[in-house]
Amino acid sequence: MRMVDLIEKKRDGKELMTEEIQFIIEGYTNNSIPDYQMSALTMAIYFQGMNERERADLTMAMVNSGDTIELSAIEGIKVDKHSTGGVGDTTTLVLGPLVASLGVPVAKMSGRGLGHTGGTIDKLEAVNGFHVEIENDEFIRLVNQNKIAVIGQSGNLTPADKKLYALRDVTGTVNSIPLIASSIMSKKIAAGADAICLDVKTGAGAFMKTIDDSRELANAMVNIGNNVGRKTMAVISDMSQPLGYAIGNALEVKEAIETLRGEGPDDLTELCLTLGSHMVYLAGKATSLKEARQKLVEVIKNGKALETFKVFLKSQGGNSEVVDDPSKLPQAKYQIELPAMENGYVSEIVADEIGTAAMMLGAGRATKESIIDLAVGIVLKKKIGDYVKKDESLLTIYSNIEQIEEVKQKLYSNIKITKQKVDAPILIHEEITRI
């Protein structure tokens, strides 16, 4: 096989065969296919697309380009949740203990964040002592014992995707549905998921800004998953404004605790119940989504979800006292209110810009090398649709620096207030299932 023939084939709109896709991914991983040929191919894919079979083949070729995590020693159906990324997205912290308390095994491999706010590991590390550097055996033992554990990314997972994503980033080929969908799905499958719940965000703070693009990506991933034998579903959820109130690592841990106690923000709670119902159902712990939801509401009410969170933190070295006393989480030196400049209804809270403001305070990483401040961030007091009076606080800024004029300016220019009544945005646009 010659790469140049395969590039021409795709350029001319023809489909690539299974062996051809394997040849390309193997060759690219072992450096026998150079970047310039791969660039030409990704551009051809960008314009010509890929059919369902090609997408599934590309996904599995990337899975097989490196190590895969072996989770067969864990009892039960391992359902993984994946979010395409948002601002103040506290769902993983809530969902893990929530579904684990119903016996769904949560074997989560997670990463650190870049941009906006931290990733799941950063947030958990806001709990003093908590660590994810555990051996594989210990990880599996903990999931069997507590039904939940989190481990840092280790091993050589999907090296083809790493290389390809970096190449796409500098060749104008990131924004291709078949390439994005296979990139995300290959990582979930390599990490050992039996079934996958996807939270595809839509709106200003999301990777996909429009509902049509989000739907196309969600469908592409759901099809890939089901075509390669992993039950997969997706919800499309709002990310025009941040999710919940808190943005920032320790602040989001506190918000997760409140949500597990049944006292969290409505939108975060509802999204967790929706995604959680699908996870419980896919794991075979309920016979319908309705039953799954009832069970989730029950473990929030009777304290089992919160207790599972405590045991989970403690098992990985964390100070579980934070659950009953969140003041034991890292605290910022200053709390600064942002007063509204006029009366009216909040009509816009541009999620990605608010995320950037939190990053400027130190809650997120501007570059991979940045050191994040776990205590700082933003807690919204108003969301889209709420009425606010002049001088009433829109949000609280938690900062370790006193001079934050630039951050305030950024926040003011990304929160709009209008005289006309505004509706809250729809939280869950669609639920896409194939089963």
Q: Is 327 a catalytic residue?
A: no
Chain contacts with ligand URA (rule: CB under 6 A) = 165, 179-180, 183-184, 207
CA dist list (Å): 354 to 80, 86, 197:
28, 11, 27
Q: Which is nearer to ligand URA, 165 or 412 (CB)?
A: 165
Residue 415 binds which one of Ca ion, ligand URA, none, with CB within 5 to 8 A depending on kind?
A: none
Choose the catalytic residue: 57, 80, 122, 161: 161
Report the residue number, 175 or 418, with the smaller CB distance to ligand URA: 175
CB under 5 to 8 A by kind: which of ligand URA, Ca ion, none does 246 bind? Answer: Ca ion
Q: Which does 180 bind (CB under 5 to 8 A by kind): ligand URA, Ca ion, none?
A: ligand URA
- Based on the residue annotation, tell me whether 231 is a catalytic residue of this protein: no
Residue nearest to ligand URA (CB): 183
Distance, in Å, from the CA atom of 99 to the CA atom of 202, rounded to the nearest integer, reads 24
Between residues 38 and 100, which has the closer beta carbon with respect to ligand URA?
38
Residue 107 has phi, psi (to 5 degrees) of -110, 90
Q: Measure Cα distances from 338 to 251, 332, 335, 341, 390 in Å.
A: 17, 16, 10, 9, 11
Nearest-approach distance from CB 331 to Ca ion, in angstroms: 18
Strands 231-238 and 428-432: antiparallel
Tell me, yes or no, if 65 is annotated catalytic: no
Of 237, 203, 204, 250, which Cα lies nearest the Cα of 378? 250
Nearest approach, Cβ of 179 to ligand URA (angstroms)? 6
Minimum CB separation from ligand URA for residue 183, in Å?
3
Active site (annotated) includes residue 365:
no
In angstroms, what is the minimal distance from the CB of 19 to ligand URA?
A: 24
Residue found by looking up tokens 């009832």 in the block: 294
Residue with tokens 């050191």: 371
Which of ligand URA, Ca ion, none does residue 91 bind (CB under 5 to 8 Å by kind)?
Answer: none
429 given a catalytic annotation: no
The partner in contact with residue 88, picked from ligand URA, Ca ion, none with C-beta cut-offs of 5 to 8 angstroms by kind, is: Ca ion
Minimum Å gap between C-beta 6 and ligand URA is: 21
The single residue of 116, 187, 278, 383 carrying the catalytic annotation is: 187
| 52 vs 299: CA distance, rounded Å | 39
Helix (H) or strand (E) holding 387: strand 387-388
Binding residues (CB under 5 A) for Ca ion: these are 88, 90, 244, 246
Residues contacting residue 5 through CB under 8 Å, at least 6 positions apart:
none
Please compute, for residue 332, the number of CA atoms within 13 A of its CA located in the half-sphere on the CB side: 26
3-state secondary structure string across 79-126: EEEEECCCCCCCHHHHHHHHHHCCCCCEEEEECCCCECCCCHHHHHCC
* Catalytic residue numbers, as ranges: 82, 161, 168, 183, 187
